[in-house]
Amino acid sequence: MERFKSGKADRILGIYSRLLNGHLVIKAREAVYYGVNERTIQRDIDDIRNYLVNKADDTGYVDAVKYDRMEKGYRLEQTRGGKLSGSQTLALCKILLNSRAFTKEEMIEMLDKLVTYCDLKEDQKQIMDLISNEEYHYVEPRHKKVFIDTMWEIGQAVRECRYIEIEYKRIKDRAVVNRKVKPVGIMFSEHYFYMTAYIDDEEVKKDFDAAEDPYPTIYRIDRIASLKVLEERFHIPYSSRFEEGEFRKRIQFMCGGKLQKVKFQYLGKDIETVLDQLPTAEILSEENGIYTISAEVFGKGIDIWLRSQGENVILCKENKKQEVKK
């Protein structure tokens, strides 16, 4: 190999160019070519590694120089970094705006932070242009409550299985009540975040529509006036653990109640909207564009949804509602 005489800059650029073109870089070979020792080549490789780390902040790509033990040399590995693409960022911004779950100040702050996490700088401006009008006309929820820290505390209590005490403003009579509960999950639906929790107090449960309901009670987090996480822990057997995903598939508009089956006919044009709205729905039959549907659901929320469909839905007389026994 003919020796190439150059300064440090030319040497590093030469090694980097070989890596970019997919070549294996062997220290001993490069040392001979550039007329330096292997320690110098190692320092050059380290400089290239540092450059790639800094470059990742601007490009969103994490290029890394890795040692190939089989080939006894260095190669460049190019991988997508932890940042979001422009399309991913735009989709998340649109979903966040449509949620209308936060105050305007909170929403703008979160959108700004989300956009800065987009991998390419040029995409960030395009995203801001695409959401600026919707951001300007954003309508915050009427409760105007900032509750993110409260939601985080609930999440910690769920993870650590700790009881919490809350003062809660009920929807039905606006009264503020005190509750000691076992929090088991956090959910989102129709502009609001909810805590799901079990109550041990038998006196409180007497006022429930179903006193022996084995499923958790639902609390809107923005209606929690105060919250205290207790040192006392609770235990729920693994076989009886609350599964948010399964619960979410069976509940409409976060209206609690008994688990039941409902059967109806759907006369509308788009059956996919039904199957998306009711994840447990099964098509029992289809005739002349009329679908007979069965679904397993919690509570009274299904009544609200069925009524909203107007003439597109006919509830089957032989099985309007049937409680699922567990």
Nearest in space to 172 (alpha carbons), one of 215, 222, 223, 226:
223
Neighbours of 319 (CB within 10 A): 12
- The torsion defined by the Cα of 116, 122, 124 and 127, in degrees rounded to 10, comes to -170
Cα distance between the two ends of the chain: 79
Residues 112 and 191 in one domain: no
Q: What is the pLDDT of residue 237?
A: 74
Q: What is the pLDDT of residue 292?
A: 93
Lowest mean pLDDT among 203-217, 230-244, 298-312: 203-217
For residue 3, being part of any structural domain is answered with: no
Q: Is the pLDDT of residue 323 over 50?
A: no
Of these ranges, 141-155, 171-185, 198-212, the one predicted with the greatest mean pLDDT is: 141-155
Domain boundary among 220, 249, 278: 249
CA distances from 318 to 125, 155, 158, 322 (A): 58, 43, 42, 10
Contacts 24+ apart (CB under 8 A), 241-248: 241/184, 242/184, 242/185, 242/196, 242/216, 244/185, 244/186, 244/187, 244/196, 247/185, 247/187, 247/196, 247/215, 247/216, 247/298, 248/187, 248/279
Domain boundary among 227, 249, 271: 249
For residue 108, being part of any structural domain is answered with: yes
Residues 233 and 161 in one domain: yes
What CATH number has the domain bearing residue 271?
A: 3.30.70
For residue 282, being part of any structural domain is answered with: yes
For residue 142, being part of any structural domain is answered with: no
Q: What is the pLDDT of residue 258?
A: 77
Confidence of residue 56 (pLDDT cuts 50, 70, 90): low
- Please count the structural domains in the chain: 4
pLDDT, tens digit, 9 for 90 and up, residues 158-187: 999 999 999 999 887 888 999 999 999 999
Residues 164 and 202 in one domain: yes
pTM as predicted:
0.65
Q: How far apart are CA 282 and CA 155, in angstroms?
A: 33
Q: What is the pLDDT of residue 6?
A: 66
Residues 277 and 231 in one domain: no
Residues 100 and 21 in one domain: no
- 18, 74 in Cβ contact below 8 A? no
Confidence of residue 325 (pLDDT cuts 50, 70, 90): very low
What CATH number has the domain bearing residue 240?
A: 2.30.30
Q: What is the mean pLDDT of the chain?
A: 84
For residue 143, being part of any structural domain is answered with: no
Residues 212 and 279 in one domain: no
Q: What is the pLDDT of residue 324?
A: 45
Q: Is the pLDDT of residue 206 over 80?
A: no
For residue 141, being part of any structural domain is answered with: no
Residues 152 and 219 in one domain: yes
For residue 2, being part of any structural domain is answered with: no
Q: What is the pLDDT of residue 199?
A: 87
What CATH number has the domain bearing residue 67?
A: 1.10.10
Residues 116 and 33 in one domain: no
Q: Could you list the residue range(s) of the whole structural domain that residue 316 is in?
A: 259-323
Domain boundary among 209, 225, 249: 249
Q: What is the pLDDT of residue 160?
A: 93
Residues 208 and 297 in one domain: no
Confidence of residue 54 (pLDDT cuts 50, 70, 90): confident
Confidence of residue 205 (pLDDT cuts 50, 70, 90): low
The DSSP bridge partners found for residue 196 are: 185, 218
Residues 48 and 96 in one domain: no
Residues 157 and 130 in one domain: no
Residues 186 and 96 in one domain: no
For residue 254, being part of any structural domain is answered with: no
